[in-house]
């Protein structure tokens, strides 16, 4: 990578950040791709299939992750955070905080012997698997991780939390490459870049803000993203849709959980739930052919290319769409009961369920205020980053040469995210090309 | 009687409704009567007139406000029911029993057709405390106790108020109260649609409160608590339900138990707690009643499946104590006591005078009284206080 050239910083390495970084790098400019987590990939890596084409999400994402990892013009900075940003004339002086992995990534071969040996094996909740599986205290979040390097979880590791693991370090003993280094310290790296793309992604609303649905009380009530991990063929259950050890006979989907709800501070539509719920219903039909599948909805918004057709297809797969936002979930014997008014019938109905999936709202990431403060970005009333103009400057921000892409600007699906990432890359490239021209003019004098 | 709908639809901001049905879906009485609030809202929006008196099911609403709590668009469906009841009240087309209750409140300050001068009969055995408290109210006091109509007059609920007086004494609290001068808070008056009378009560009681000038008001009933807290505009005054005060006293160590509610053989009593709508759903007081129960020696607290925000209304609120509704056979209280009995509870604890009456009645009707007692939390506290409890005093 030619550090002498004008370069870009991309914050967040989900599909938006990866795509933007690849476009800029392919045009010949250096890119620093910073990711808070140990691997790039973001939310898309957690998904099973993608609507409306039913492509396997990781099958289309992994090649892009590998490209980003191997690109000569991209420097991956995973398990790292932006510590400070300072504007100086035509460029930004940026400090990156590289958190200690306690693993030397130049030595680690990704064999996993350490995780096998870890005393905490199977006892640490996997964030990546949304709590439906456990891992060790030393881990890669998922098998296709880039970089495929292990990381010690400082909140779970016995040595790092209690100062003692055992007579010897199990992981160190097991590592054939001698890569584990508990003396590793946080590192600060200084960069200079001409442009920044913010692609920090989203969070999902805490489903317990809707206590009427019994999330956290009933193990049979889960969120859409948890369902993704459950149905993922390469996930913890190998794609078996199993609840309490059994295939569910009755499955109920509840849409708009938190979305379109000024009462919970989420007045907007999350834009992807209608389609991923249709996809989930399809996956249940695929894996549990005899299941009774009910989707409770207020409106069905199938606006994208091929979306209405996908919704039609799913309905033909014996999925019952009932209009009405359920009001409550409770237990009756072995079953859960979903209580709703079927507004088409104009009657209250009780629908039994062995599995209830909540399509929870997309909300701004917890760290949006911090990132906004670091960069001086403005936020829209819904909490997401504010674009300079909703129609005509959709990827520009309130700060010159800083652009946004993906769900940190507003909820959106993968096609829109990738489009926006490419638009942000194009805008960033304009800055980079101008900087290069200015530099060559200076050289020529 | 044809109501012109446009003005009401606008006043109540019904145009924001997206007809999602979450209100009717969660409405505990919609499952057993023809009341459908989502449909009523729609009719208000699309019809130019409504024959309100044809909707007798309006009197089925318990004002549990589950619809209001859960509406994603903040439409406040229950307020439409109150407004429509208001139309019926104004035209005089109301169930006779509702009229009797409202008239009694207007004349005697209580809904039970009892004489005002009998309002302090509840204090039998704690007369000295009552006299001190009346004196304190006259001189102005920091802490004011609002007894409420049902605890004042209903013999089943009176011990709850007496026990609370003993707790005040025991914790060394200088509390004021009014005795016969106390008048209905109006919470159910508003919910029955008698808005004029409600405004009058707010004015009178508000003036009374301002005269005494307490910093804190504590109530026996979640219903009085609700209206004082949310509808009286008593700025700067802390309104507390008694379970909140007790939880605070216990936490500070100002109240300790000398006795226990355990069985004679020492086994803890299995207790389950029913969240009252006006305390739980509507005011989010979930933890304090449980904290009090858990502090009582000899209590083993178990939860019903439907608890906290998902508690099932007992059907005693919103004026339903004075009107039977259109489906008396399937009472929610029946369902609720079956749920409670299903936990194996020996005691179904409540924190509301209405819940105490409706659920105790249901326990008897369902023949569950051999296995399960309904008790107010205050009665359990009283039992565990030891020597100066009501039981100790009467035995």
Q: What rounded mean pLDDT belongs to chain B?
A: 95
Chain A residues in contact with B36 by the CB 8 A cut-off are: 341, 346
Q: Which residues of chain A neighbour B57 with C-beta distances below 8 Å? A: none
Best residue of B17, B18, B19, B20 to probe chain A, by most A CBs closer than 10 Å: B20
SS3 of residue B362 by DSSP: helix
CB A118 within 8 A of CB A12: no
Size of chain B in residues: 395
Q: Cβ–Cβ of B23/A211 closer than 8 Å?
A: no
Instruction: Give me the pLDDT at residue A440, please.
Output: 86
Residues of chain B neighbouring A327 (CB-CB closer than 8 A): 22-23, 25-27, 66, 70
- Residue B204 is predicted with a pLDDT of 97
- Total residue length of chain A: 445
pLDDT score of A55: 95
pLDDT-based confidence at residue B324 (cuts at 50, 70, 90)? confident
- Cis omega (within 30 of 0) for bond into B311: no
- Give the start-to-end residue ranges of the domains of chain B: 2-94, 116-251, 269-394
DSSP reduced 3-state for B85: helix
Candidate from A212, A262, A325 with C-beta closest to B310: A212
**Mean per-residue pLDDT, B246-270:** 95
B318 within 8 A of B188, measured Cβ to Cβ? yes
Token pair for B196: 């004029």
Q: Does B174 touch chain A if contact means CB atoms closer than 8 Å? A: no
| Burial (0-12, 13-18, 19+ Cβ within 10 Å), B95 | middle
Could you tell me the strand order of the sheet in which A91-98 lies?
Answer: A80-88, A91-98, A187-193
A250: which strand partners?
A292
DSSP state of B116: G
Is A212–B70 a contact, with Cβ atoms under 8 angstroms apart?
yes
Report the pLDDT averaged over residues A303-310: 97
Residue A222, SS3 per DSSP: strand
CB nearest B309 (choices: A212, A341, A348): A212
The CA distance from B375 to B390, in Å, is 14
Sort out which chain B residues have CB atoms less than 8 A from A265's CB and list them: none
The distance from CA B302 to its chain's CA centroid, rounded to whole angstroms, is: 22
Is the pLDDT assigned to residue B162 strictly greater than 90? Answer: yes
Which helix (H) or strand (E) is B209 found in, with range? helix B195-212
The CATH class of the B116-251 domain is: alpha beta
Inform me whether the pLDDT recorded for A156 exceeds 70. Answer: yes
Which residues on chain A are in Cβ contact (under 8 Å) with B71?
263
Q: Is B342 on the interface with A (CB under 8 A)?
A: no
Chain B residue numbers with beta carbons less than 8 Å from the beta carbon of A212 are: 26, 70, 309-310
Mean per-residue pLDDT for A166-175? Answer: 91
DSSP-assigned beta bridge partners for residue A403: A197, A396
Average of pLDDT values for A253-257?
A: 98
A255 vs B2 pLDDT, higher one? A255
Does B352 score more than 60 pLDDT? yes
Token pair for A309: 């057709």
Q: For residue B306, which residues of chain A lie inside 8 Å, CB to CB?
A: 330
Three-state DSSP class for residue B321? coil
Q: Which CATH superfamily is domain A205-362 in?
A: FAD/NAD(P)-binding domain (3.50.50.60)
Per cent of chain B over pLDDT 70 is 97
**How close does chain B come to A269, measured CA to CA in Å?**
12
CA dihedral A220, A222, A227, A230 (to 10 degrees): -50
Bigger pLDDT: A171 vs B389: A171
Instruction: Check pLDDT > 90 for residue B186.
Output: yes
Q: Could you say which residues from 59 to 98 on chain B have a Cβ atom under 8 Å away from some Cβ of chain A? A: 66, 70-74
Report the top-level CATH class of B269-394: alpha beta
B70–A327 CB contact, under 8 Å: yes
Q: Classify A336 as helix, strand or coil.
A: strand
Q: B98 with B323: CB under 8 angstroms?
A: yes
pLDDT digits (tens, 9 = 90+) for B11-35: 999 999 999 999 999 999 999 999 9
Find the closest chain B residue to A213 by CA distance. B310
Whole-angstrom Cα Rg for chain A: 23
Strands (E), B91-147: 143-146
> For tokens 């249940």, what's the residue?
A284
Nearest to B38 among A326, A331, A343 (CB): A343
Q: How far apart are the CA of B25 and the nearest CA of chain A, in angstroms?
A: 4
Alpha helices by DSSP H, listed for A71-223, are 113-117, 158-162, 170-174
* Whole-structure pTM value: 0.95
Report angle CA B124, B240, B202 to the nearest 5 degrees: 85
Quick one: pLDDT at residue A46? Answer: 98
Closest-CA residue in chain B for A343?
B21
> Do the Cβ atoms of B75 and A325 come closer than 8 Å?
no
DSSP letter (8 states) at residue A264: G
* pLDDT-derived band at B329, boundaries 50, 70, 90: confident
**Is residue B393 predicted with pLDDT exceeding 60?**
no
What average pLDDT does chain A have?
96
Q: Which residue of B has its CA nearest to A350?
A: B25
Partner-chain contact B21 A342, CB within 8 Å: yes
A chain contacts of residue B308, beta-carbon cutoff 8 Å: 211
Domain A8-99+186-201+365-444: CATH class, spelled out: alpha beta
Identify all chain A residues contacting B20, using CB atoms and an 8 Å cutoff. 256, 298, 324-325, 343
Cβ(A189)–Cβ(A2) under 8 Å?
A: no
Contact A328 B38 (CB under 8 A): no
The residues on A that touch B, with CB distances below 8 Å, are 211-212, 214, 256, 260-264, 298-299, 323-328, 330-331, 339-343, 346, 348
In the prediction, which pLDDT does B328 show?
78
B45 touches chain A (CB under 8 A): no
CB atoms within 10 A of CB B386: 15
Q: What's the pLDDT at B364?
A: 97
Q: Give me the phi and psi of B267, to 5 degrees please.
A: -70, 135
Of A211, A299, A324, the CB nearest to B21: A324
Q: In chain B, which residues have their Cβ closer than 8 Å to the Cβ of A323?
A: 21
Testing the interface with B: which of A256, A263, A341, A349 to mutate, by most B Cβ within 10 A?
A: A341
Query: Is A327's CB within 8 Å of B26's CB?
Result: yes
Q: Find out whether B85 and B40 touch, Cβ atoms under 8 Å.
A: no
- Give the mean model confidence (pLDDT) for residues B335-349: 98
Q: In this complex, do A262 and B72 lie within 8 Å of one another by their Cβ atoms?
A: yes
The pLDDT of A48-70, averaged and rounded, is: 97
Whole-angstrom distance, CA of residue B315 vs CA of residue B325: 10
Mutate to test the interface with A, among B16, B21, B281 (most CBs of A within 10 A): B21
Would the CB atoms of A339 and B26 count as touching at under 8 Å?
A: yes
**Which of B24, B32, B72 best probes binding to A when mutated, by most A CB atoms within 10 angstroms?**
B72
Cβ atoms of A298 and A359 closer than 8 Å: no
Contact A194, A90 (CB under 8 A): yes
ipTM of the complex: 0.93
Task: Name every chain B residue with its beta carbon within 8 A of the beta carbon of A264.
Answer: 72
| pLDDT tens figures, B49-77 | 999 999 999 999 999 999 999 999 999 99
Among B22, B36, B73, whose Cβ lies nearest the Cβ of A327?
B22
Cα dihedral A119, A122, A125, A128, rounded to 10, equals: 110
pLDDT band at B395 (very low <50, low <70, confident <90, very high): very low
* DSSP assignments along A369-432, one per residue: HHHHHHHT--B-TTSSBPPSBTTTBSSB-SSTTEEE-GGGTS---HHHHHHHHHHHHHHHHHHH
Subunit contact B71:A331, Cβ cutoff 8 A: no
Residues B229, B235: Cα–Cα separation, whole Å: 9
For chain B, where are the E strands, in sequence order?
2-4, 49-51, 143-146, 175-176, 216-219, 238-241, 269-273, 299-302, 347-350, 373-376
For residue B146, which of B129, B161, B127, B126 has the smallest C-alpha distance? B161
CA distance B105 to chain A (A): 35
Verify whether the Cβ–Cβ distance A330 to B305 is below 8 Å.
Answer: yes
Task: Tokens for B25, please give them.
Answer: 């879906």
Residue of A nearest to B66 (CA): A327
Q: Helix H segments across A108-183?
A: 113-117, 158-162, 170-174
- Asked if the domains A8-99+186-201+365-444 and A205-362 are classified in one and the same CATH topology, the answer is yes
Work out how many CB contacts closer than 8 A connect A with B: 77
Residue B327: the pLDDT is: 82
Instruction: Name the burial class of residue B181, with classes exposed (0-12), middle (13-18) and buried (19+) by CB atoms within 10 angstroms of its CB.
Output: middle
Spatial separation of the C-alpha atoms in residues B210 and B225, rounded to whole Å: 17
According to the model, what pLDDT value does residue B317 have?
93
Give A81's contacts (C-beta < 8 A, 6+ positions apart): A34, A36, A96, A97, A99
Nearest CA in chain A to B34: A347
DSSP sequence for A295-308: EEES-----STTHH
Burial per residue of B261-299, b for 16 or more beta-carbon CB atoms within 10 angstroms, e otherwise: bbeeeeebbebbbbbbbbbbbbbebbebbbbbbebbebb
Closest to B165 (Cα-Cα) out of B143, B139, B187, B142: B143
Rounded Cα distance, A231 and A224, in Å: 10
Q: Which two tokens stand for residue A49?
A: 């299939």
Can you name the residues that pair with A322 across neighbouring β-strands?
A296
- Which whole number is the average pLDDT over B135-146? 96
From the CA of A252, how many Å to the nearest CA of chain B?
15
Predicted confidence at residue B2, as pLDDT, reads: 85
Tokens coding B123: 């204090």
> What are the extents of the domains in chain A?
8-99+186-201+365-444, 113-174, 205-362
CB distance A298–B27 less than 8 Å? no
Look at B23 and A256 and tell me if their CB atoms are within 8 Å: no
What pLDDT score was predicted for residue B387? 67
| Chain B residues with beta carbon closer than 8 angstroms to that of A336 | none
Say if the Cβ atoms of B308 and A211 lie within 8 Å: yes
Among A214, A262, A325, the residue with its CB nearest the CB of B22 is A325
CA–CA separation, A440 vs A438, rounded Å? 6
Contacts of residue A260 in chain B, CB cutoff 8 Å? 18, 72
Is B2-94's fold the same as B269-394's? no
**What pLDDT, on a 0 to 100 scale, did the predictor assign at position A168?**
83
CA separation, residue B366 to residues A108, A198, B62, B321, B331 (Å): 69, 64, 22, 19, 11
Give how far B84 is from chain A: nearest CA, Å: 20
Specify which residues A34 forms β-bridges with.
A11, A77
User: Thinking of the domain B2-94, which architecture would CATH place it in?
Assistant: Orthogonal Bundle (1.10)
Asked if pLDDT for residue A391 goes beyond 50, the answer is yes
């Amino acid at each position: 990578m030619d550090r002498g050239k004008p370069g870009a910083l991309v914050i967040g390495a989900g599909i938006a950040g990866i795509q933007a970084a690849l476009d800029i790098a392919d045009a010949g400019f250096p890119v620093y791709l910073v990711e808070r987590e140990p691997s790039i990939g973001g939310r898309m890596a957690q998904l099973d299939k993608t609507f409306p084409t039913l492509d396997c999400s990781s099958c289309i994402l992994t090649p892009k992750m590998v490209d980003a990892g191997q690109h000569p013009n991209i420097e991956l900075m995973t398990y790292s955070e932006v510590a400070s940003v300072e504007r100086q004339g035509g460029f930004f002086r940026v400090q990156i905080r590289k958190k200690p992995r306690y693993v030397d990534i130049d030595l680690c071969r990704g064999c996993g012997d350490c995780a096998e040996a870890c005393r905490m094996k199977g006892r640490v909740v996997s964030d990546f698997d949304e709590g439906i599986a456990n891992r060790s205290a030393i881990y890669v979040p998922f098998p296709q991780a880039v970089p495929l390097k292990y990381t010690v979880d400082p909140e779970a590791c016995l040595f790092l939390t209690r100062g003692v693991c055992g007579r010897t370090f199990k992981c160190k003993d097991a590592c054939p490459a001698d890569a584990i280094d508990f003396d590793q310290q946080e590192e600060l790296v200084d960069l200079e870049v001409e442009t920044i793309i913010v692609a920090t992604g989203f969070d999902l609303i805490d489903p317990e803000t809707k206590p009427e649905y019994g999330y956290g009380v009933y193990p049979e009530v889960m969120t859409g993203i948890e369902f993704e991990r459950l149905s993922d063929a390469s996930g913890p259950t190998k794609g078996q849709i199993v609840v309490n050890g059994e295939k569910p006979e009755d499955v109920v989907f509840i849409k708009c959980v938190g979305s379109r709800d000024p009462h919970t501070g989420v007045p907007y539509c999350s834009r992807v739930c209608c389609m991923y719920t249709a996809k989930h219903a399809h996956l249940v039909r695929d894996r549990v052919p005899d299941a009774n599948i009910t989707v409770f909805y207020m409106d069905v918004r199938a606006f994208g290319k091929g979306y209405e057709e996908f919704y039609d297809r799913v309905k033909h797969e014996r999925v019952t769409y009932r209009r009405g936002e359920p009001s409550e979930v409770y237990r009756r014997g072995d079953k859960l009961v979903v209580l709703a008014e079927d507004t088409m019938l104009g009657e209250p109905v009780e629908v039994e369920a062995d599995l209830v999936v909540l399509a929870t709202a997309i909300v701004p990431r917890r760290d949006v205020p911090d990132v906004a403060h670091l960069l001086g970005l403005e936020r829209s009333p819904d909490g997401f980053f504010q674009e300079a103009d909703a129609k005509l400057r959709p990827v520009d921000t309130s700060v010159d040469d800083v652009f946004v892409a993906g769900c940190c600007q507003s909820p959106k699906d993968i096609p829109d995210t990738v489009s926006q990432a490419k638009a942000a890359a194009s805008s960033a490239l304009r800055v980079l090309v101008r900087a290069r021209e200015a530099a060559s003019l200076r050289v020529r004098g | 009687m044809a109501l012109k709908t446009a003005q009401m639809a606008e006043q109540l901001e019904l145009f924001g409704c997206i007809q999602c049905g979450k209100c009717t879906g969660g409405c505990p009485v919609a499952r057993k009567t023809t009341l459908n609030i989502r449909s009523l809202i729609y009719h208000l929006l699309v019809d130019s007139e409504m024959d309100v008196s044809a909707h007798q099911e309006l009197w089925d609403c318990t004002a549990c406000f589950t619809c209001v709590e859960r509406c994603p668009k903040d439409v406040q469906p229950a307020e439409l029911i109150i407004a429509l009841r208001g139309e019926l009240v104004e035209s005089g087309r109301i169930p006779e029993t509702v009229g009797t209750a409202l008239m009694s409140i207007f004349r005697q300050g209580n809904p039970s057709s009892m004489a005002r001068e009998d309002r302090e009969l509840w204090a039998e055995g704690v007369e000295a405390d009552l006299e001190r408290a009346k004196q304190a109210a006259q001189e102005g006091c920091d802490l004011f106790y609002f007894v409420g109509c049902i605890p004042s007059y209903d013999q089943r609920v009176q011990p709850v108020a007496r026990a609370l007086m003993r707790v005040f004494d025991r914790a060394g609290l200088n509390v004021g109260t009014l005795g016969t001068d106390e008048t209905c808070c109006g919470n159910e008056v508003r919910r029955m649609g008698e808005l004029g009378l409600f405004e009058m009560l707010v004015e009178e009681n508000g003036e009374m409160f301002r005269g005494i000038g307490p910093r804190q008001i504590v109530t026996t009933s979640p219903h009085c608590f609700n209206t004082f807290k949310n509808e009286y505009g008593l700025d700067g005054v802390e309104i507390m339900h008694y379970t909140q005060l007790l939880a605070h006293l216990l936490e500070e160590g100002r109240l300790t138990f000398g006795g226990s509610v355990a069985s004679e053989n020492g086994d803890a009593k299995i207790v389950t707690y029913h969240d009252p709508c006006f305390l739980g759903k509507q005011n989010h007081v979930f933890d304090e009643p449980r904290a009090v129960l858990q502090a009582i020696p000899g209590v083993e607290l178990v939860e019903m499946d439907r608890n906290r925000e998902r508690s099932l209304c007992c059907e005693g609120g919103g004026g339903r104590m004075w009107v039977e509704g259109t489906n008396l056979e399937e009472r929610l209280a029946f369902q609720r006591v079956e749920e409670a009995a299903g936990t194996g509870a020996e005691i179904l604890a409540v924190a509301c005078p209405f819940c105490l009456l409706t659920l105790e009645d249901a326990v008897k009707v369902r023949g569950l009284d051999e296995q399960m007692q309904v008790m107010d939390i205050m009665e359990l506290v009283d039992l565990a206080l030891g020597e100066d409890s009501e039981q100790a005093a009467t035995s």
